[in-house]
Chains A and B, each alone.
Chain A
Amino acid sequence: MLNLAKLSRIELSDEEAESLSHEFDAILNYVGEVKEVNVKSREVSNKDFALKNILREDTEPHETGLYTEKLLSQAPAREGGYIKVKKIL
């Protein structure tokens, strides 16, 4: 559980990890029902899935800087036109 929390980048107390692991047992036991599903490809027809990817040309960008100030003003820490974070390397 603590390893999963680590992969999720979430700080978790030992106590919560313990109770989560009990809850997960119950939830996984329930959702584990899907393991018995055995779908043969002929049972699923493509005609039922009409959606396809919609792409556009990578052209006509908006005016440079139009949203910069609006977006940067939301950052917890900034320096000029940059978002400020701690040293990474």
Chain B
Amino acid sequence: MTPEEIRIKDKDIHAFLEVFSAEGGSASGGEGPLSGKTIAIKDNILFEGHKASAGSKILEGFVAPYDSTVVKKLKDAGALIVGRTNMDEFAMGSSTESSAYGVTKNPHDLERVAGGTSGGSAAAVAAGMVPFAIGSDTGGSIRQPAAFCGVVGLKPTYGRVSRNGLIAYVSSFDQIGPIAKTVSEVETIYNIIKGQDPLDSTTITDDTYLIAKKFNKTIGVPREFVESEGVSDEVKENFEKAVEKFKSLGYSIKEIDLPSLKYALAVYYIIMPAEASSNLARFDGVKYGMHMDGENSIDDYFRTRGAGFGREVRRRIILGTYVLSSGYYDEYYGKAVQARNLITTELRNLFTEVDLMLTPTTPSPAWKIGDKSNSPLEMYLEDIYTVPANITGCPSISVPSGQVGNLPLGILLTADLGREDNLFVAGKEFLGA
């Protein structure tokens, strides 16, 4: 679609915070594998000369002073970056309802959420406004909206894609990845954006993780985890169909037991606010973005941060401050780090026996806008299947697995560190594309 066509189509959906004018776009025109293709980027990824607000009022007016590495690579590949997509404020949420700039609607049902936090990116692809979009995934933020919108979303291995120019949220979880309609297209974008970067010292090389195990078409299903409390019957039914489909494709399915997985969500909701409270200390109304004037210097901070951050962001920063405070540190953060290491060890052991782990992507299909706004904990429980990949760093892909009525559902494949190749093989066979 042209920028003008996207603007018209987006009136109902609100996937974009800004569609760049043809002249103001990347104007790449370069030759490369993406020549002539359009792509949208999430609002927390810097594109020089364009606004980047991370869905927050506190960054109102902020203009990116440099290109993120991902944007540079996309431009070099010839892609035309057409706009920045809506997201939950600072990537905190599961529905884009915490965006300071309004909610993105699900293209399959405009009364429902598109998921989050990369809800704008997933909706833009699902509605056909762009063939590809870039998101970021801290606890499921690429994969969950991809499932809700019926498209494919990949969170690569931690460190696979440079985060130089990504507005940091949880530095030990954050990872950038692609969203598209097919696994092959996701793989194409992944190959363009991945790679070691001197500007992000957490990036890995192709040799960081030894590829010792040959792909053997074996999938592990953590039965107890899949049937966690609160998972809807439609999801369970859809999941069983997916399991049967993999069997018919010649995969062997192993029932597995990973006892530590039940702690994954609790671990996530301790480490995440802890790191967020530290990363978001930089928004102070002094260096960039919004400034609210107070009586003195410190009062400026209180006013700016009180007014500039939305409710969910305030909640998570304060929660993070609590779990890191002396007296509670060992009890929460210390324990969470231990449990995280245990989950990583258990999951990596599993991958010596199976190639992939299979679960649903979400415990329910997309909910109605506003339905979960009053209960943060209920919203947090939506992340149950997606957080293990962030805690362990493992790559993980959500692939459409059919619909309940008009609402899409997804299945989630997770592989050992460095084994995106296994996700692509199984994902393509499952989807047939």
Chain A residues packing against B (C-beta within 8 Å)? 1, 4-5, 7-12, 16, 20, 23-24, 26-28, 30-35, 37, 39, 43-45, 48-51, 53-56, 67, 70-71, 74-77, 83, 85-88
Contacts and interface: CB of A to CB of B under 8 A. Distances in A.
Interface stretch (B22-30, B31-39, B104-112, B281-289): B281-289
Taking chain A's interface residues, is the majority helix, strand, or loop, or is none over half, making it mixed? loop
Given A7-B325, A31-B269, A37 B309 contact: no
Contact of B376 (A9, A11, A23, A53): A23
Nearest to A52: B208
A74 to B, nearest CB: 4
A74 B263 contact: no
A20 B208 CA distance: 43
Contacts, number: 150
Given A8-B317, A11-B305, A44 B269 contact: no
Nearest to B298: A9
Given A8-B317, A27-B377, A37 B342 contact: yes
Interface string B290-315: 11000011101111011101010011
Nearest to A69: B65
13 contacts: A4-B322, A7-B325, A9-B301, A9-B305, A24-B319, A27-B377, A27-B380, A48-B341, A51-B159, A67-B65, A70-B65, A74-B289, A75-B287
If over half of B's interface residues share one DSSP class (helix, strand or loop), that class is named, otherwise mixed; here it is: helix
Contacts of A56: 198, 201
A51 B171 CA distance: 14
Contacts of B332: 28, 31-32, 34
Contacts of B215: none
Contacts of A32: 266, 332
Interface of B: 62-63, 65-66, 158-159, 198, 201-202, 204, 208-209, 260, 262-263, 265-267, 269-270, 277, 281, 284-291, 296-298, 300-303, 305-307, 309, 311, 314-315, 317-319, 321-322, 325, 331-332, 335-336, 338-339, 341-342, 344-345, 348, 376-377, 380, 417
A71 B298 CA distance: 23
Contact of B201 (A11, A54, A85, A86): A54
Nearest to B262: A33
A14 to B, nearest CB: 13
Given A7-B325, A74-B63, A87-B297, A27 B269 contact: yes
Nearest to B270: A31
Contacts of B376: 23, 26-27
Contacts of B344: 44, 48-49
Q: Which 9 A-B pairs have the closest CB atoms?
A: A11-B306, A76-B291, A74-B288, A70-B65, A54-B201, A11-B302, A86-B297, A31-B266, A39-B338
Given A9-B305, A54-B202, 12 more contacts: A9-B284, A10-B302, A11-B302, A11-B307, A12-B314, A12-B318, A23-B376, A34-B263, A39-B342, A51-B204, A71-B65, A83-B287
A45 B342 CA distance: 9
Contact of B287 (A8, A12, A33, A74): A74
B286 A76 contact: yes
B336 A51 contact: no
Contacts of B301: 9
A4 B318 contact: yes
B336 A53 contact: no
A74 B286 CA distance: 9
Contacts of B322: 4, 24, 28
A34 B198 contact: no
Contacts of A51: 158-159, 202, 204, 208
Given A11-B303, A50-B208, A23 B65 contact: no
Contact of A37 (B66, B317, B339): B339
A1 B291 contact: no
B288 A75 contact: yes
A60 to B, nearest CB: 11
Report which residue of A50, A71, A83 has the largest number of chain B beta carbons within 10 angstroms of its beta carbon. A50
